[in-house]
Structure 1
Amino acid sequence: MTVHCEYSKHLEKHLTLNIVSGGPSIIRKPGTFRSNLEFTNSLRSNFLAAQQDYADDFSTCDDNSTAPVAATNGGGARINGANGASNGVLNGVHSHRPTADEAWIERDGALMYVPRISWSAAGLQEERSQYDVTVKLFFLPGAPVHERAKYTMEALALVQKELGVSTIDLLIASFPGMSFDGDCEWAADQKNAQQGNLEEEVASWAILEELHRQGTVKTLGIAEFGSEKLAKFISMVRVPPAVDQINVRDCCKVPPPLSKLAKEQGIELFVHTDCMDILPKGTIRDLLGHGLQGAGILADPEQGRDGLEGDIVPQWVVKYTAFVKNRGVIENKGYFAAAEVHDG
């Protein structure tokens, strides 16, 4: 089963960090929140808001409630965050007796949306041409590499539906195991060369290249690629990245070899503050569990509570931003995330 969570905000309703295309070769976006904190905090807020919104439904349910229940094994659930929250999906969940507080959760076949999404509020306020739409797709560690095509299509479909758009201006791929940390920029660049799995990254990039060929995505970018890694990557792909997004929080400067390579290849360097490990397994279990700020949808035998059972494996997270070009404001930002539940 898959659980899907979503978080998004319109106009000034939420705080997120954004990377948009265009501008100087080094672009810095100030902010104190890293994406994992923003993401998890917004998820918790979205869960609480949804539970409050459906409070009337809760009060009318009893032990014979027909509120949605978890899907059988092989299904999925999503955690959502539109309009100030984050969303997600869970697959492979055991079915269980429905409980009254599940009115705020939606099940669609094998998928579970946590919380349910109100698509009536979806869409942008102005013409599509007025926006730069940026999407960052985080492929997570532990998720099957051969499923990345499916993950990509699932993530983009949700963003497109949320924003009411058919095209994405910039899609940035973030691969697991990549970082840009070191005592100095030179050390960070050297360490980066040994990270990740280049063959898997090139194979996954082909999925994005096809979206670019189709016109669904106008510009492609990557994250956390140093000079050596980037040079090898460019030599192995058909469509080179137009953007390289790096986090130089620890080393403070962009390595000169990377700056030189980016200039030669016409690649823009974006500096960001996103977390490299945006959705660890323990975090999503905490988010969906019965803790003080959890969603309360996981089983807790010690407390005698029914719910989803099994090992929760995060699959992907997608971060999106719709930037109004002529006004210089962000109209809509948010996240979607997905995880799968495997039998224990």
Structure 2
Amino acid sequence: MEPHVYAKMLLDHATTLKLHTGNLVNRSRLKKKCPSSQSEELQDCIRATLSEWFASIPPVTEPELSRILDCTIPQNTEAITPEEREELKVSVKLFLSESDCSSVRNAVDMACASLGVSQLDSVIIAPPLLSEGENLALAHLQPLWEELEGLVHSQKVAAIGTSDLDKTLLEQLYNWAQVKPSSNQVNLASCCVMPPDLTAFAKEFDIQLLTHNDPKELISAEGFQEAVQESSKDLQVADWRLEWVLRYSIIVKSRGIIKAKGYLIHAKKKIQ
């Protein structure tokens, strides 16, 4: 059976797609060495990982079909050993495409399993985009934050943070939350200088202000489907929807260098 025929069969039968890009510090697997944006990098990673995974499937007469397609290439991934764990900081940012609170725990569990750790040092959450004209409010954040707090209490996560909250919303979350945000990311593309009121509040309550250059939508539904479709011939992708993307970085504490970075992706097929 031709690999692309088998790939189509696998994707047609599956209802869940899990993908780990592996370590991207060595970018030789990507066609584009220097993507122009985070979105382009992610699309390249999805396309390259799926292409490599489909090509690695051994030819069989009667393929085994599963509802869960776990597209991980073992030789591209390297779990953290217990001996080196103390020397490393594992930080992640979780981009949600849907307001499904169970995605928070699922993503953290998948990250811990993929990286070989029992705890992540920090998790920053980026809530899903809202409908046009709707502004992010505390009510949107509360159910997601409660999931994160549960992960802190169960020692799956050490510290939790937010992304793109202004002073008012950060203060509301801080006052309401049991586990306080330890950090807040600010996109300097939208404000060249840190807002003074946000800086003052963060300093008073020991919240670290970080900068980032992620787009509001890391990857669109169309961009995700396009990347999957380009990985092999004749794939049907219209029913697939992205649930979340988790980006991780593993930093050597003593030297401040990135040992590994990559993406975990989770998608579901709409059941007709």
Q: TM-score range by the shorter chain?
A: 0.7 to 0.9
Q: 1:9 aligns with which of 20, 23, 38?
A: 23
Segments of 4+ in structure 1 off by > 4 A? Answer: none
Identify the residue that residue 246 of structure 2 maps to in structure 1: 318
TM-score (norm 1): 0.66
Residue 284 (structure 1) shift: 1.7
Q: 1:177 aligns with which of 111, 123, 129?
A: 129
Identify the residue that residue 4 of structure 2 maps to in structure 1: none
Is 1:262 aligned with 2:202?
A: yes
Q: 1:32 to 1:285 in 2, by over 3 A?
A: closer
Identify the residue that residue 43 of structure 1 maps to in structure 2: 46
Per-residue CA deviations over 1:245-274 (Å, capped at 9, x if unaligned) read 121113311111111111111110000112
Q: 1:129 aligns with which of 68, 71, 86?
A: 86
Identify the residue that residue 181 of structure 2 maps to in structure 1: 241
Identify the residue that residue 118 of structure 1 maps to in structure 2: 74
The alignment partner of 1:41 has SS state of: helix
Residues of 1 paired with 2:223 and 2:208: CA distance? 33
Q: 1:314 to 1:168 in 2, by over 3 A?
A: same
Question: 1:319 touches 1:335 (CA, 8 Å); kept in 2?
Answer: yes
Residues of 1 paired with 2:64 and 2:188: CA distance? 45
Question: 2:121 touches 2:158 (CA, 8 Å); kept in 1?
Answer: yes
Is 1:138 aligned with 2:91?
A: no
Q: Which one-letter code corresponds to 2:101 in the other structure? A: R
Residues of 1 paired with 2:48 and 2:112: CA distance? 23
Q: 1:287 aligns with which of 224, 227, 230?
A: 227
Residues of 2 paired with 1:257 and 1:251: CA distance? 13
Residues of 1 paired with 2:144 and 2:105: CA distance? 12
Residues of 2 paired with 1:256 and 1:272: CA distance? 18
Q: 1:276 to 1:226 in 2, by over 3 A?
A: same
Residues paired across the two proteins, number: 250
Residue 172 (structure 1) shift: 0.5
TM-score (norm 2): 0.82
Consecutive unaligned residues of structure 1, counting only runs of 5 or more, are 16-30, 70-106, 179-193, 300-307
The alignment partner of 1:165 has SS state of: coil
Superposition RMSD in Å: 2.6
Q: 1:170 to 1:264 in 2, by over 3 A?
A: same
Residues of 2 paired with 1:203 and 1:297: CA distance? 39
Identify the residue that residue 85 of structure 1 maps to in structure 2: none
Residues of 2 paired with 1:148 and 1:297: CA distance? 34
Q: 1:40 to 1:313 in 2, by over 3 A?
A: same
